[in-house]
Chain A
């Protein structure tokens, strides 16, 4: 008898499982889920909240010296908040689409896309922070060159690079470490299973 045929024969006759009675099923209905989605949602909400709170606490506007800077600051402020709202809106929109009754591939895509919006949200915040720091550094350099001497300008350039470069590297490193620790274990399984489905469909 072929291997799987033997297994099939056994499988069909196998009813040797413990019986879970109605009372036990009723108890299970009201237990807390420990699903991956639940954890992705909890972590995402915490991340979104931290981002929003930090946006209020951290002063991003500096002393305005010209109407051009005022215009630039306003544009940046609006663009920043519009992008953040776009990520949050898409996160919730996709989260609502997660249904355990869809086909497996669709379910995996929906969960991974939902998580990806939070991913983009965090990366956007981090890169925006780096951009603002670099922008301010460049402003200091230009002002020093224009208002003071070339020597002081060169010194300021060195200072800005020495201060900003390690902050940029540390920030990016911490962000990657955070993802590796928090998400890898949680969504590795989803990534692997999704990739397997893609491989199967490639034939």
Chain B
């Protein structure tokens, strides 16, 4: 790995790090797990970076590798590995701009999404990122029609959970 490759990777990752944080926020429950998964994603991205041809945007390439890491590679450990200490507390959701009713719904929504399984979380992530169903299907390796059907089921499931808990 040349120094040039390393510095271009670090620059791109620094710019696009919210992709990693957002995926971590769906797949992890606490600060330590967030850091573990973030680090594992960085390692996986770095390993594949020499094969990144630049045909697609770095962000598109990166979110696929990161989702694969969260779904297939990340081992949820009781003991955390040694990670770099960054100046952070767990990502807190800012609700200031929302009215109390919406704020309550948002909290319920985030809780409900975190309770979905790994594949459902990936679908929600891509839906929230405005990816079209063709891309969602290609990322997961399923058919476009079935990706759409599953997403509708997740929406219904989330609505039902919210209704049950007194939201919406």
List the interface of chain A (C-beta within 8 A of B): 1-4, 6-8, 10-12, 14-22, 24-29, 31-37, 39, 99-108, 111, 186, 189-190, 192-193, 196-197, 200-201, 203
- Nearest CB on B from A28, distance (A): 4
Once the chains bind, are B109 and A196 in contact (CB under 8 Å)? no
Contact with A along B53-70 (1 / 0, CB 8 A): 000000001001101110
Please give me the residue from chain B that is nearest to A19 by CB atom. B17
Whether the pair A14, B147 counts as a contact (CB closer than 8 A) is: no
| Shortest Cβ distance from B119 into A: residue | A196
Interface residue tally on B, bucketed by range:
35 or more
| Inter-chain CB contacts under 8 Å: number | 189
**28 A-B residue pairs with CB within 8 Å:** A2-B168, A16-B94, A17-B21, A24-B86, A25-B17, A28-B39, A29-B6, A29-B42, A29-B46, A31-B43, A31-B83, A33-B47, A34-B75, A34-B77, A34-B81, A100-B68, A100-B72, A101-B64, A101-B68, A103-B141, A104-B68, A104-B119, A104-B122, A193-B117, A196-B119, A197-B119, A200-B147, A203-B145
Q: Which of B18, B92, B141, B162 contacts A197 (CB 8 A)?
A: B141
- A197-B140 in contact (CB<8A): yes
Contacts of B162 on A, CB cut-off 8 Å? 3
If A3-B159, A33-B43, A33-B44 touch, whether A101 touches B65 (CB-CB below 8 Å) is yes
When A7-B128, A22-B10 are in contact, do A197 and B142 touch as well, CB less than 8 Å?
yes
Contacts of B146 in A (CB 8 A): 200-201, 203
Residues A17 and B48 in contact, CB atoms below 8 Å apart: no
Min CB distance B166 to A, Å, is 13
Nearest chain A CB to B79 CB, angstrom units? 10
Q: Which of A7, A12, A189 contacts B106 (CB 8 A)?
A: A7
**Are B140 and A16 touching (Cβ within 8 A)?**
no
CA distance A15 to B22 in the complex (A): 9
Question: Does B117 contact A35, Cβ atoms closer than 8 Å?
Answer: no
| B51: Cβ under 8 A from any A Cβ | yes
B118 close to A (CB within 8 Å) = yes
A16 touches B91 (CB 8 A): yes
Q: Which of B84, B91, B117, B168 has the most CB of A within 10 A?
A: B84
The answer to whether A100 touches B69 (Cβ under 8 A) is yes
| Residue in contact with A25 in the complex, picked from B42, B143, B158, CB distance below 8 Å | B42
Going nearest first, the 4 A-B pairs with the smallest beta carbon separation are: A105-B141, A18-B88, A103-B141, A17-B21
